[in-house]
Amino acid sequence: MDGLTVRAGAGVRSVARIVARDDGRGGTSLPVLESDGPLALRRTRAVGAEARVMLVGAMSGPLGGDHFTVEGRVEEGARLSVGSAAATIALPGQAKGGARYDVRLSVADHGELQWLPEQLISAHGSDLRVTTRVELAATARLVLREEQVLGRVGEEPGRLASRLTVRVAGRAVLDQELACGPGAPGGWDGPAVLAGHRAVGQLVVVRPEFAAEPVTARALGEGGSIVPLAGPAALVTAVAPDALRLRRLLDEALASLPKT
């Protein structure tokens, strides 16, 4: 398992890398598709010009002390869709300290990325910090979904901290953090944040045409909203009692945005 380092008491280090490139024939090639240990990347059937990849959990985790990294780069004119085969479950581990899961994405001009993983579940006793950083060129396009579920059925959640940063042409359009569970700042479960819900998610949609015609801010039923960002982007935020209803809210919001 090249690139995988296991140290007693220090957890597992695992890196997955994807590079998508315009193949010059109306499609997208994947010259780099590398993964190891708990992270396994699988190419699936392309749809038109879009290459598709699934992220498969080859081992349980992340556990305490683990550090997973996923890096994705979409080059000029390429189109890539990335999903996952199942939910990711953050679990307590024998190693000391919390776990980390870092996602680093970049999309060049006229490239397009759909980043649509399944839910992240924060199991009782776990401690996970997730950071997602996206760098987009001025004419890049993005649909990014994040869904977090606090605890499995009938259990209290672990500690979960997440930060999402999106930059377009070097300018930050979104930089936000959320911390939930034991040890998180007070109020995370109050009416101003989750209001007792156990599933929270967001969609970030970046399209160049949003610069001239921003989306209209509006509520999504009782648990969600769509707002324009300071750039060619829109943010959908939703909370729900469970993962199924959260996904329904996010899917409806995406379908309601102007088609291109």
Per-residue pLDDT of the chain (260 residues), as tens digits, is 344 444 445 688 899 999 999 999 999 999 999 998 888 999 999 999 999 999 987 667 788 889 999 999 999 999 999 999 989 999 987 767 789 999 999 999 999 999 999 999 999 999 999 999 999 999 999 999 999 999 888 788 899 999 999 999 999 999 999 998 888 777 677 776 777 788 999 999 999 999 999 999 999 888 889 999 999 999 999 999 999 999 999 999 999 988 76
The DSSP result for 91-151, as a single string, is ---SSSS-EEEEEEEEE-TT-EEEEE---EEE-TT-EEEEEEEEEE-TT-EEEEEEEEEES
Closest CA to 68 of 93, 95, 37, 105: 37
> Quick one: pLDDT at residue 94?
73
For 139, left (φ over 0), alpha (ψ -120 to 50), or beta?
alpha
pTM: 0.91
> Quick one: pLDDT at residue 210?
95
> Quick one: pLDDT at residue 3?
43
Q: Distance between CA 231 and CA 244 in Å, rounded?
A: 30
Residue 258: exposure state from Cβ atoms within 10 A (0-12, 13-18, ≥19) = exposed
> Quick one: pLDDT at residue 203?
96
> For 90-133, what is each residue's pLDDT tens digit?
998 776 778 999 999 999 999 999 999 999 999 999 999 999 99
Q: What is the CA radius of gyration of the chain?
A: 18
> Quick one: pLDDT at residue 260?
62
